[in-house]
A and B are shown apart, each in its own frame.
Chain A
Amino acid sequence: MTEWNALRTGRRVAARVGSLVAAAVLATAATTLHAAAETVLRIARPDDVRALNPIRQANNSTSEVTYQIHEGLVTVNPEQQVVPVLATSWELLPDGLTYRVKLREGVTFHSGRPFNAEAVAWNMNRQLFGTPPGIAAGLIPKLGAVTVVDEFTIDFTLVKPSGVFMAILGAPLFMIVDPATMEELGNDGYDRGPSGTGPFMFDSWTPGVNVQLVANPNYWDKDNGPGVDRVIFEVIPEASARAIALRNGEVDIAFAVAAEQVDSFKVPGFTVHEVPSTRVLYIGLNTVDPILRDVNVRRALAHAMDRELIATIIGANGARADGIGMPSALGFFPSARAYDPERAKALLEGAGWRAGSGGIRSKDGVPLEIRVQTQGTTPGEVEALQVVQQQWLAVGARMIIERVEGGALAAGLTAAARAHTEDPTKIPPYQGFVLADGIRTGEVGYITERPKCDQGQRGYERYCNPDFDAAFDLSQSTAPIEERLKGYKRMAEIFEEDVMRLPLFVMQLNVVTRDTVKGFVVNPNQSLSLRGVTKAD
């Protein structure tokens, strides 16, 4: 009897184990089938997101991800045109100050709550008056009022007229978050469950490892929605490691592919996207420096630079810069001086700089030496500076390249510029500095603002010219586009005449995709849209 019981118990155990094993096998099979059915797009990038809260962070590596979850009222497309997203239309009312924006109906946040004018007003208030203010606060022109007209209409009343207000909202800085989710989770907790209206919904974030998003089944744009089930943004800091992962098929897209590796991907199976960005690397000049305050010296230094040769030397790191900005941006006019070393020499002679020992010119015993501070971290930056160093030497000017850590460079420039703003007798000790400026609004206006008289500690060139300011104001006004372009043209002329900045090169975006990825387009302004991107098996 006991043996019989034992046998029965044994059979029961065996049956249970058997059923558990069967269940496990079925579950594994189901998972495998599910996994096989799921299309996963893996993107390798050098940096992680800083936060998933777009009000708090909007640097490029962050907004590339948060812009898949959230959307703005408008965006700047790869052709650098401002196009509607959550707005459907907008108009400037007769008062010349109020933009009336019609919003898209039938859109819901990932939380299921409706998107409406109240949500937009909440976002604008949070950006401008939150503690601390949002990351877009510094860019958005001063607003007198934000008025909800009806559920899908909102008025933005500016303090001063601005023709670029909507373009500024197109930068991936002003994204609409779900107010209720933000209130519920708080500024910090929002990272655990961001909710926007975008084509992808948040799934997980393992800091330093990856961010995973899943397709939003309720996305409003059925024609241009998510084309894959899951997107994984992998963090792979090292360029070689990203290239290897792409080659191995571990990822589908690799961002920031090193210039020297770009050519190796120009083979079947891969598509190389070499796109000049909207960022220009330049040497800024301190126009109140004892040597550089002479405009002829600045002009000579500009004429001594062969930007074509720079572009050749730096290869896939960049393209030739013809001015401040890029040709596809609204308001771009060439402003860089032509390469003409003889003219450079003549200008220096005319300014009293005579050839001295070692080929370096001097004046009143002072050698023509220009110290240029640089971080040297942008690919191609140091090589470009070395080319310019040789070219300046050929006309009798010595460039001393000073490598400075990024934080120290910005802090040093800001402190010296602030001191000079407060007390004009305190001449900033720096001469040249290498910085990059980028356009995210489709117009060059935003990056031409710095040399204005009112820039204070941000006006590192220490340049002030009421004519330039007037041209800038015209370019940003609500006047017809032809008039605004006159303002942009005049600014370019002044850049060429007064040479506050020497463009080095247009930074290039090098992205490689596997041929299985379709519909992927690189936007020169570095805002990433994965709408409509698909992946074949």
Chain B
Amino acid sequence: MALFIVRRLFGLIPVLLGVLAVAFAVTRLTPGDPAEIMGGLEATPEVIAAIRIDMGLDRPVPVQFLIYVGNVLQGDLGRSFYNGREVLGVMLEALPRTAWLAAVALAFTLGLGIPLGIVSALRKDSWVDFAARSFALVGVSAPPFFVGLLAILLFSSYVRWFPSYGSGTWRHVVLPGLALGLSSAGLVTRLTRSAMLEVLNENYIRTARAKGLRRRTVHYVHAFRNAAIPIVTITGLQLGSLLSGAVLTETVFAYPGIGRLLVRSIFERDFPMVQGLILLIALIYLVANLLTDLLYTAIDPRIKLR
């Protein structure tokens, strides 16, 4: 196991270098001059040229890339073109907020999705199943920003339980977490239901029942454990997606996370910030995949990691 983890971690290096090269190339290929954007239309060509030199954009692109890679290897992701702040510092400010939001969203996703999916499968074709499937359909169909606006109207405007915008306290994260989690919960409900239905028809479940095991043991120990593999897969992907920022939800709730930072940086041609964020998002996905693989072995001992 330890060897597997070390090998996978080493395997991240070429992937991240590749991501770095692609991110650098894509930002340079995008039309638009950051110096022009920073200086504005009022700035004279001389001022623009001076800003360009200050940003290091006057050097040939390959030289810019080599300097950038050298700096990244030393832990320096550069400075934002937008406001001159350290990229790493800005990312480290936004990441905990997004992680906090992702944790709450994931709690809603798993806390709602798995129980509903299990109950739905166990009570197939009953009104409970119908209600759970309806919930799942609504969850999957309603975009998070729309759910977010409804949640603001209901919980911020009418009953006034939670603030409608901002960050900083646990109350700020409930509504965006709910909005994000609801959509994923619908997906997990459907997935859990179908996986459980498939497993419940397996011979070993029949055998377990024939042995006289308690219903609860059959359902939650034997059936659910075997149905969990696809749920873990989708949860791993959802985790990556949630941690890399939910642009629309963060915008609706004025939540200053990774998603909003990325969109703003793209519009402002803030190359160092975009590159840093792409690197971070790639890292998040790679680590989430690694964790998913590790979880597989915990759930199903037949799976061997090599």
Contact = CB atoms under 8 A, between A and B. Distances in A.
Interface in B137-192: 149, 152-153, 156-157, 160, 163-168
A355 B84 CA distance: 56
B256 A209 contact: yes
Nearest to B149: A240
B217 interface: no
Contacts of A425: none
Contact of A208 (B36, B50, B157, B261): B261
A383 interface: no
Interface stretch (B2-10, B37-45, B121-129, B219-227): B37-45
Interface in A110-146: 131-133, 135, 137-139
Contacts, number: 125
Interface stretch (A244-252, A486-494, A503-511): A244-252
B254 A56 contact: no
Contact of B83 (A191, A210, A240): A191
Given A133-B47, A244-B164, 6 more contacts: A131-B50, A131-B54, A132-B51, A207-B90, A241-B164, A245-B165
A208 B156 contact: no
A414 interface: yes
B30 interface: yes
Interface residues of B, number: 48
A407 B271 CA distance: 13
Interface of B: 30-33, 36-37, 39-47, 50-51, 53-54, 79, 82-85, 90, 93-94, 149, 152-153, 156-157, 160, 163-168, 251-254, 256, 260-261, 267, 269
Interface stretch (A151-159, A229-237, A386-394): A229-237
A50 B83 contact: yes
Interface string A328-350: 00000000000000000000000
A132 B54 contact: yes
Contact of B254 (A51, A133, A234, A247): A234
Contacts of A237: 251, 254, 260
Contacts of A241: 152, 164-165, 252-254
Interface in A32-55: 44, 49-51
Q: Which 4 A-B pairs have the closest CB atoms?
A: A407-B32, A208-B256, A408-B31, A236-B254
Size bin of chain A's contact surface? 35 or more
Nearest to B35: A132
Interface in A393-429: 405-408, 410-412, 414
B188 to A, nearest CB: 28
A57 B31 contact: no
Interface in A407-463: 407-408, 410-412, 414, 435, 437, 456-458
A59 B42 CA distance: 11
Contact of A248 (B36, B53, B160, B256): B160
Interface centre among B42, B90, B253 (most CB of A within 10 A): B42
Contact of A133 (B36, B50, B252): B50
A139 B253 CA distance: 38
A214 to B, nearest CB: 19
A435 B40 CA distance: 13
A132 B149 CA distance: 43
